[in-house]
């Protein structure tokens, strides 16, 4: 397969998230014409559908790769489901941006997600996902999430393939979602060149080609250790047993070998992202491109059908997130710009509170009557 030339890297701080009216929108329109063939059967029955952005086009992602994403790419993920057997179809619509994705790919994913949302009559709950900061809803769609280096422009590898030279390092971690009954596991490839910081509570796998090393930090869970062992076993099986497996537990004899191999330091814990502060609710007023945020009471009575509301749940200790809620009587312009409102709010929050505020946390657009349980939980 011929490799495409890589465009400029996307900067997550770009506030023009939907890129409506931009050159990217025009190029997407030119490519797809008046309609997007990929959407013809999208959302017609319960299940998961994934597409990758390839040179301004939307291409179906093979089902055998569902749950695997490459940091050089952007993807669109649609989850179609019924709340009860006789309920109408509901939709979770995500666009996922890899850390190394290009401006063109990110812009195309954002624009085409709005297009698919329109195709589904504006009914989906829409999420912007950034690699490493995925929402609990996104993680719940997969038995485990795997994010790897590479992509459409640079080529991509399978985890079962040994590194052509050098080594690859993977981090296995678990996150829990209140009320969902199980932890979500993520396997992420991380750079192994230079100084590596190992986070307490995670499990690491070092792929050296003919050797596979597993390193369990002291506070890693049994589930993480088990998943890492299964991950190692799958690679060993793919290589027909032609590699040696070593398992190291932090603090035991020989564990220094793993850290010495990487020149790694060990941190006690993941840097704190949230402080557990209560969520805040704001009414949005769009006046000549200025969007003031007026505080309102965090209660059900504030959910008025003519309003656009923003719920700041950034300091949620489980999963930081920003919601924009659209009343049933709001117009199409507000619906199309919902995630831009959220991103603008995050930029202002960062400017006011400091650079520890991350603009990469999930942004969610929801419509009245289709609120996810995580949103309603903030109202008690």
Tell me the pLDDT tens digit for each residue of 177-212: 554 555 678 999 998 877 888 999 899 999 999 999
If one compares 14 and 259, the residue with the highest pLDDT of the two is 259
**51 vs 380 pLDDT, higher one:** 51
Q: Are 220 and 179 in contact (CB under 8 A)?
A: no
Q: Name the pTM for this structure.
A: 0.88
Distance of alpha carbon 270 from alpha carbon 277, whole angstroms = 19
146 close to 69: Cβ distance less than 8 angstroms: yes
Q: Which pLDDT score is estimated for 268? A: 64
Mean pLDDT of the chain: 86
At 299-342, the pLDDT tens digits run 999 999 999 999 999 998 878 999 999 999 987 777 778 888 89
Question: pLDDT, tens digit, for every residue of 244-275?
Answer: 999 999 988 888 899 888 888 887 655 555 56
Lowest-confidence range among 21-35, 36-50, 89-103, 269-283?
21-35
Phi, psi angles (nearest 5°) of residue 96: -110, 125
What sign does the CA torsion over 279, 280, 281, 285 have? negative
| 113-160 pLDDT per residue, tens | 989 998 999 999 999 999 999 999 999 999 889 999 998 877 777 787
- With contact defined as beta carbons under 8 Å apart, do 320 and 313 qualify? yes
d(CA 348, CA 346): 5
Q: Annotate 167-228 with DSSP letters as a single string.
A: -EEEEEEEEE-TTSSSEEEEEEEE--SS--EEETT-EEEEE-SSEEEEEE-TT--HHHHHHH
Number of helices (H), then strands (E), belonging to the chain: the values are 8, 21
């Amino acid at each position: 397969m011929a490799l495409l030339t890589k465009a400029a890297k996307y900067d997550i701080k770009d506030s023009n998230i939907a890129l409506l009216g931009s050159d990217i929108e025009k190029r997407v329109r030119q490519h797809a014409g008046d309609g997007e063939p990929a959407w013809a059967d999208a959302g017609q029955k319960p299940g998961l559908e994934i597409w990758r952005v390839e040179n301004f086009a939307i291409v179906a992602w093979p089902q055998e790769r569902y749950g695997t994403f490459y940091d050089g790419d952007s993807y669109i993920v649609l989850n179609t489901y019924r709340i009860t057997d006789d309920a109408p179809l509901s939709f979770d619509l995500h666009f996922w941006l890899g850390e190394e994705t290009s401006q063109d790919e990110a812009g195309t994913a954002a624009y085409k997600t709005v297009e698919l949302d329109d195709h589904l009559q504006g009914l989906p709950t829409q999420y912007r996902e950034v690699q490493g900061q995925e929402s609990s809803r996104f993680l719940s769609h997969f038995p485990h999430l795997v994010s790897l280096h590479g992509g459409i422009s640079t080529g991509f590898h399978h985890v079962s393939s040994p590194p052509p030279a050098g080594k690859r390092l993977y981090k296995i971690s678990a996150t829990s979602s209140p009320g969902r009954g199980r932890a979500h596991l993520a396997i992420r490839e991380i750079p192994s060149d230079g100084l590596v910081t190992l986070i307490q509570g995670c499990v690491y796998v070092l792929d050296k080609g003919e050797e596979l090393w597993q390193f369990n930090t002291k506070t890693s869970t049994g589930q993480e250790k088990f998943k890492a062992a299964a991950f190692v076993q799958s690679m060993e099986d793919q290589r027909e047993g032609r590699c040696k497996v070593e398992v190291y537990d932090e603090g035991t004899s020989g564990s220094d070998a793993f850290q010495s191999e990487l020149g790694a330091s060990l941190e006690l814990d993941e840097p704190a992202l949230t402080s557990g502060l209560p969520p805040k609710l704001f009414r949005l007023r769009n006046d000549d491109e200025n969007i003031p945020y007026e505080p309102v009471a965090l209660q059900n009575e504030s959910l008025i059908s003519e309003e656009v509301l923003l719920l700041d749940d950034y300091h949620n200790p489980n999963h930081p997130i920003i919601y924009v809620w659209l009343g049933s009587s709001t117009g199409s312009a507000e619906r199309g710009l919902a995630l831009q409102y959220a991103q603008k709010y995050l930029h202002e929050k960062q400017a006011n509170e400091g650079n520890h505020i991350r603009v990469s946390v999930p942004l969610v657009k929801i419509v009245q009557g289709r609120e996810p349980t995580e949103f309603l939980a903030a109202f008690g």
